[in-house]
Chain A
Amino acid sequence: MSPIPLKTTALNSVHRELGAKMVDFGGWDMPLHYGSQLAEHLAVRQSVGMFDVSHMCIVDITGNDAKPWLRHLLANDVARLATPGRALYSCMLNPTGGIIDDLIVYANADGSYRMVINAGTTDKDLAWMQQHLAPYQVTLLPRRDLAMIALQGPLATEKLWQAVPGLRALTSDLKPFHSIHWQDWFVARTGYTGEDGFELMLPASAAVTLWRQLYALGVQPTGLGARDTLRLEAGMNLYGQDMDDTTSPLDSGLAWTVDLKDPSRQFIGRTALESHKTNYRLAGLLLLDKGVLRAHQPVDTAAGQGEITSGSFSPTLQRSIALARLPGTIADGTIVQVMVRNKPLAAKVVSYPFVRHGRSLLPTLPSSQET
């Protein structure tokens, strides 16, 4: 009943054909699941799944000053992209060190860059970038003409080669976090699941054909529901949930993405970060009691209160896990209390990622406490 019609991707009618449950995702009509979120999650961990992620915005960055501009705009340093095709994960900060968005930027061989930003933040991001163009010689081109399919799971490579034999030679040596251009396609070995796989950016009509080919090869269509539990198990932050304009990379588990090595690189937010002493950190939680951890539940610790930023049931671990912003002195291994519907539940602070390549990274999984 929304007055503004939802935006649709090139694959919208394909999702509907497959019987997807569609939801309004930040103004986009997107598949939540195609029947069972759990089955889709496990398909990605154990074999292969595909996601329509065309709602994310691809931005091409060209011009003589593309590199110095990105070194000014981003907290991570694109000067680290020494080889063509290399990808870099970074935050884009405001002057107070708050996170405007998190993104991936790919370096092209010709000195230009391709950036992928979140769907819900696209308008805000583009306005921010436009506002900070001068005096740099840079042109921004949002690529709404392209669709994006993420193909993820241990069988991703095999299925991609079956569907597109022409990509075999080009991608057989493609390392994680690298990309190649092929005809009018862009193929990156990146993802948001903790599994091997690709993110394919391609013209809308080619995306429909590829999706159908992959489906015929048995690749599981996977919705945004499983995308969220997969990324949580993989310990990857979600913008708007684990961090936003008011939190810095330092209290969002993203200090590793802030590059302070070059003292002459005065990126936006640097001064604030250098004087910012955070009292919080992002930690993993494993629920010991029965129940499900959810965002915004308060966490009681000996050093004060924290809050869950993302929580769910982990289909791989068969118990609930969460990311939580906790007082920085609370070490891994500590038992904390999470208030769930006015009842304190015991959870253990653990390092994350929780799951990589189909396997639990938790050293020992305690047996479920009977209540």
Chain B
Amino acid sequence: MTIPSDLKYTETHEWIKMHPDGSVSIGITDHAQDLLGDMVFVENPTPGQHLVAGKECGVVESVKAASDIYAPLSGRVLAVNIDVETSPEQINTDAWGSWLFTLQPDDPAEIDSLLDAEAYRAIAEADHH
């Protein structure tokens, strides 16, 4: 499975992309979309909302099941991807390109505590028992 090395990850299958201005964008991994199947609904946090790392902040739902999105970092929501809310199926075709929302982290050092691609690969492959 392809897991981009320039992204960070969580055990709960979110990916985190760091931008030069210090903000991050967040999506769900290709492995997560594969487990969930056809996506039909996305509920994002609200712009301006303050998120706490590890807490639920949104949901993605496939035909089959609902899956919570957990905030990978504490911080303030900058923007949400209306496009992906309107067409959730793009997560199935391009999970790495389908960002859900962007965040301004409270503490940039928190990013170091996230998983790198190799650590996430170990978690994703353990699912394929």
Using CB atoms and an 8 Å cutoff, list the residues of chain A in contact with chain B: 1, 21, 32-33, 36-38, 225, 229, 290-292, 294, 312-313, 315, 341
Contacts and interface: CB of A to CB of B under 8 A. Distances in A.
B129 interface: yes
A36 B40 CA distance: 12
Interface in B85-129: 89, 92, 129
A23 B66 CA distance: 18
B66 A292 contact: yes
Contact of B41 (A21, A32, A313): A313
B43 A225 contact: no
A229 B40 CA distance: 13
Nearest to B43: A291
A294 B37 contact: no
A273 to B, nearest CB: 35
Nearest to A313: B40
B129 A313 contact: no
Task: Name, among B40, B61, B63, B89, the residue most crowded by chain A CB atoms within 10 Å (CB to CB).
Answer: B63
B37 A292 contact: no
B90 to A, nearest CB: 13
Interface residues of B, number: 13
Contacts of A290: 41, 43
Contacts of A38: 38, 63, 89
Contacts of A291: 41, 43, 61
A330 to B, nearest CB: 25
Contacts of A21: 37
Contact of B63 (A1, A312, A341): A312
Nearest to B41: A292
B63 A37 contact: yes
A312 B40 CA distance: 10
A54 B41 CA distance: 33
B37 A37 contact: yes
B64 interface: yes
A294 B63 contact: no
A195 to B, nearest CB: 18
Nearest to B64: A225
A36 B38 contact: yes
Nearest to B85: A290
A315 B63 CA distance: 9
A225 B63 contact: yes
B53 interface: no
A229 B41 CA distance: 16
B41 A37 contact: no
A290 B92 CA distance: 20
Task: Name, among B66, B92, B129, the residue most crowded by chain A CB atoms within 10 Å (CB to CB).
Answer: B66
Task: Name, among B37, B59, B89, the residue most crowded by chain A CB atoms within 10 Å (CB to CB).
Answer: B37
A56 to B, nearest CB: 21
B7 to A, nearest CB: 25
A194 B92 CA distance: 28
A317 B129 CA distance: 36
A229 B129 CA distance: 28
A291 B43 CA distance: 8
A37 B59 contact: no
Given A291-B43, A294-B66, A313 B61 contact: yes
B64 A37 contact: yes
A312 B92 CA distance: 18
A292 B38 contact: no
Contacts of B129: 1
Contacts of B66: 292, 294
A65 B33 CA distance: 54
Contacts of B40: 292, 313
Interface in B2-43: 37-38, 40-41, 43
A57 to B, nearest CB: 25
Nearest to A36: B38
A185 B40 CA distance: 40
A36 B62 CA distance: 11
B41 A33 contact: no
